[in-house]
A and B are shown apart, each in its own frame.
Chain A
Amino acid sequence: MTQTLKPRKRNRSQRQIAPYLFILPFLLSFLAFFLIPVVYSVVISLMKYKGYGTMRYVGFDNYRRLLTYGAMWNSLLNTLQYFVFAMIPVMIVSFLLAVMVRSRVMSRYQKIYKPLIFLPQVCAVVASALVFKVIFGTNVGAINQVLGTSINFLGDTKLMKLPVITMLIWRNTGWYFIIFLSGLTTISEDLTEAAKIDGANSVQTLFRITIPVMKPIFKLTFITYAIGAFKLYTEPNLILSKDEAPLAVAPFVNMITTNINGGNLGMACAAGWILVVLIMFLTIMQMGMFKEEQ
């Protein structure tokens, strides 16, 4: 009697401990490299700290200084511009491409177009940025050579955002193309077929069936795009300079990096928290959007 109970008891206690053991490695590295740094960054953001020596408590001074600092608002505005001017063409082009590739007459050619349109995503960001620097260069640039001009895309403050936005469009289209393509597969063939039998042409089908059905996917991609756009760093900095882009065209993340490099670690943390607030705002907006849907 006791012999049959014993292994069962052992089993049960094992079953209680096992999940914790499975989670343990994840939990420990999460605590050490995520939670502790997050808490610590709250502390640093309230301090004046150069990276060495002592920290001095300054309250919300770092935040106040950032929020009244023109460069912060300027970089935020730059980020918004990179976001909006790249997102609109990316969304439209990638959606239309997906609809075209998805249409019946194209099914045979899907295998050719899909990888080609996705190709920019496979190229490393750093390498792509450097290639765009060459494409838009004043003397070495393919664009200037084709046009026979010597437009200073990379030095003229008015034009400098153009190469960056072009690269963002070039690189992101492939990604959203694949996302829309897989979204389109959820639309049943019967629906579009029925519309066709009822005499709808392809433009009507697009506006009356495809776009309404895809609406939740549009919302989702819009938010994920926006969150990604606020973290923009590599593209503008590498296309427009060797390390950090000039203030007039710098993205928001530069507020963190320049302050780390300049030894204003408190300011760097405060800028990080402003980024968190922005992203949180977007996420809450996303949740609101989905509630409305239900």
Chain B
Amino acid sequence: MEQTRKLEHNTRRHPLHTGTVCMHLCLAFCSLIAVFPVFIMISGSFKPITELFVNSWGLPKEFTLDNYARLLNYNSGMILHAFLNSVFISISTTILQLIIASMAGFAFSKYTFRGKKFLFMMFLLTMMVPGELLLTPQFVIFSRLGWLNSYRVQIIPAIANTFAMFMCRQFMDSIPNEMLEAARVDGAGHWRIYTQMILPTSVPTLGALGILQFLSKWNDYLYPRIMITKVQFKPIMVILPTLTEGGDTSGTPYDLILAGCTLVVIPMLIVFFCLQDKFLDSVTLGSVKG
């Protein structure tokens, strides 16, 4: 009865309802705007600079790979080096963050111990403090320690991530205690329970969290800009805006910059289209539940 009514309802609606058409138009228009800058970036990266000045928004009329060749040879291969710097820094930071955050989250979720409430409240309060406040004291401390201009300054200070720890704890709360108790009776130690039961069950959460942390480190601009002055340690995001050609500081080499942007964006786009659901999960990780 219910189903037939639904069917009736569906067939009665004309397939080209004006409302539906309007919605399609709206959505298609917004999608187009969303994609447009990416299109300008990619197509522009195949245009010679002279064409950019007359045709910066269409398809390339004079297709060239020269921009990429110049980009890869720029300052004796500096771009590729910076790109690999970024990959190395982002991946190692993310992995370390996930390890220590999941360990701490496990303790907060599955143990009772003295000082638990105090520690938890302390971590909670610090989530309000923006990283921008830390910039200056960290700069002073690291310059005294001689950490400026290194890889470690870009990795180690970021590994204690309170948000990641909270997300781990929140997920682990949903793992039934009976399961862990059963393993404990069977003689599993604390470390084994963590590595063989908690971690495998947490993989979906850790994956979404990993994407979020990786992207924020990959995108980071302000922190390395303050801490790193030596080219050798700079991540690609700090290098890109500073591209200049032939000692000419007045004219910006837009063709080179667009090729560089494409180089940075394309790998992410490919990963995104392969792991779409994970990406979209990572957005809602901390926002809606709270």
Residues of A within 8 A of B (CB): 14-16, 18-20, 22-23, 25-27, 29-30, 33-38, 40-41, 44, 49, 51, 93, 96-97, 100-101, 103, 105-106, 109, 112-132, 134-135, 137, 139-142, 145-146, 170, 173-175, 178-179, 182-183, 186, 202, 217, 220-221, 224, 227, 230-231, 233-234, 238, 242-243, 253, 256-257, 259-260, 265, 268-269, 272-273, 275-276, 279-280, 283
CB-defined contacts of B268 to chain A, threshold 8 Å: 122-124
A25 near B288 with CB under 8 A, answer no
Q: How far is the CA of A280 from the CA of B126 in the complex (A)?
A: 11
Determine the residue in chain A with the shortest Cβ distance to B9.
Answer: A196
Of B104, B215, B254, the residue contacting A27 (CB under 8 A) is B104
CB of B156, distance to nearest CB on chain A (Å): 7
Pick from A100, A140, A234: contact of B27, CB under 8 Å: A100
A134 touches B254 (CB 8 A): yes
Which residue of B has the minimal Cβ distance to A178? Answer: B283
Which residues does chain A contribute within 8 Å of B177, judged by CB atoms?
A: none
Partner of B280 from the list A114, A141, A259, A265 (CB cut-off 8 Å) is A114
Q: How far is A178 from B279 in the complex, measured between Cα atoms in Å? A: 10
B202 at the interface (CB under 8 A from A): no
B221 contact set on A, CB distance < 8 A: 125-126, 233-234, 238
Contact partner, B133, options A27, A174, A221, A275, Cβ 8 Å: A275
Main secondary structure of the interface of A (DSSP, over half): helix
Tell me the residues in window 14-65 of chain B with beta carbons closer than 8 Å to chain A beta carbons.
Answer: 17, 19-20, 23-24, 26-27, 30-31, 33-35, 37-38, 40-41, 44, 52-57
Q: Are B31 and A118 in contact (CB under 8 A)?
A: no
List of A residues within 8 angstroms of B189 by Cβ: 14
User: Which one, B31, B100, B225, contacts A113 given CB within 8 A?
Assistant: B31
Contact partner of B34 (CB less than 8 A), chosen from A103, A116, A137, is A116
Q: Give Cα distance in the complex from A231 to B133, angstroms.
A: 10
Which residues of chain B have C-beta atoms less than 8 A from A29's C-beta? 100, 156-157, 159-160
Q: Measured between alpha carbons, how far is A186 from B31 in the docked complex, in Å?
A: 25
| Residue from the list A25, A141, A279 in contact with B103, Cβ < 8 A | A25
Asked if residues A131 and B261 are in contact (CB atoms below 8 Å), the reply is yes
Instruction: Let me know if A126 and B284 touch, CB within 8 A.
Output: no
B-chain residues with CB within 8 Å of residue A19 when the two chains form the complex = 107-108, 111, 113, 116
Chain B: interface secondary structure? helix
Q: Is the beta-carbon distance between A253 and B222 smaller than 8 angstroms?
A: yes
B206 contacts chain A at the CB level, 8 A cutoff: no
B233 at interface, CB cutoff 8 A: no
Chain B nearest CB: distance from A269 CB in Å? 5
Given A34-B126, A145-B56, A179-B287, answer yes or no on A27-B119 (Cβ-Cβ < 8 Å).
yes
Give residues in B with beta carbon < 8 Å to A.
13, 17, 19-20, 23-24, 26-27, 30-31, 33-35, 37-38, 40-41, 44, 52-57, 99-101, 103-104, 106-108, 111, 113, 116, 119, 123, 126, 128-141, 143, 156-160, 162, 165, 189-190, 194, 215, 218-219, 221-222, 225-226, 237, 240-242, 254, 257-258, 260-261, 264-265, 268-269, 272-273, 276, 279-280, 283-284, 287-288, 290
- Are the C-beta atoms of B20 and A113 separated by less than 8 Å? no
Q: Is the pair B241, A145 in contact by a Cβ cutoff of 8 Å?
A: no
- How many Å lie between the Cα of A96 and that of B27 in the bound state? 10
- Of all A-B residue pairs in the complex, the 8 with the closest CB atoms, nearest first, are A142-B57, A127-B261, A26-B104, A19-B111, A272-B133, A22-B107, A37-B137, A29-B160
Closest residue of chain B to A106, judged by CB?
B23
Q: Determine the distance from Cα of A130 to Cα of B255 in the docked complex, in whole angstroms.
A: 11
Residues of B within 8 A of A279 (CB): 128-130
A140 CB contacts on chain B under 8 angstroms: 52-53, 56, 254
Report Cα–Cα, A181/B276, bound state, in Å.
Answer: 15
* Contacts known (A26-B101, A117-B31, A124-B265); A233 close to B136, Cβ less than 8 A: no
